[in-house]
Amino acid sequence: MPHVPGLRSPYVKVGRLVYFGRMLDKIRLQAAGQLPLGDYGANLGKGFDGRACSFLRVAYDDLKARMLAGDLDDAALLAWCHERGGPRTDEECEVWNGFMIKRGWRDAAAEVLAKRIEESGLGAAPVFTMFDYLDYDEGRASAADRPWEKS
């Protein structure tokens, strides 16, 4: 997939959650006509987006509409999700983050990850999870080094 300016790594947290900010970025970029729909369109609101909304107990279309209203920042959008779907405990967030960060490593998604690695020519890269794959495939700095966590 191409590098998309403004699309953050799935590892970056909003509040206590990984991936949430990336989902918001995809919504914003799609609305602005800056998200390559050939690469991302089929999975909008599905896949990890769908899992995130399910975890938060909000409908993707409701979150999208609320976000596009434009009056809330990412943290406030997450708070809105907690108001609508109920708050998550620290333990629930820890389990969510652990599951998402490790997705593709020795689990049901491992076969899909292996296929994507091969199709993208990333066999030599240290890609162990879907998050790693997204970072390498989108041309971000080495996922293994996690430079965004060092700021």
| Domain assignment of residue 69, yes or no | yes
First to last CA, the chain: 26
Q: What is the pLDDT of residues 11-48, one digit of tens each?
A: 999 999 999 999 999 999 999 999 998 888 888 999 99
| Domain assignment of residue 81, yes or no | yes
Residue 71, pLDDT score: 93
| Domain assignment of residue 129, yes or no | yes
| Domain assignment of residue 79, yes or no | yes
Q: What is the pLDDT of residues 91-121, one digit of tens each?
A: 999 999 999 999 999 999 999 999 999 999 9
pLDDT value at 52 more than 90: yes
31 φ, ψ (degrees, to nearest 5): -60, -30
The CB density around residue 112, as the number of other CB atoms within 10 Å, is 13
| Domain assignment of residue 3, yes or no | no
Give the integer Cα–Cα distance in Å for 63 and 57.
10
Give the integer Cα–Cα distance in Å for 131 and 11.
7
Q: Is the pTM of this model over 0.95?
A: no
57 φ, ψ (degrees, to nearest 5): 60, 45
Domain count, the chain: 1
Residue 131, pLDDT score: 95
For residue 7, the 8-state DSSP code is -
| Domain assignment of residue 5, yes or no | no
Nearest Cα to Cα of residue 24 among 67, 53, 80, 59? 67
| Domain assignment of residue 7, yes or no | no
Q: What is the DSSP string of 78-115?
A: HHHHHHHH----HHHHHHHHHHHHHTTSSSTTHHHHHH
Residue-number span of the structural domain to which 35 is assigned: 13-150
| Domain assignment of residue 2, yes or no | no
Residue 72, pLDDT score: 95
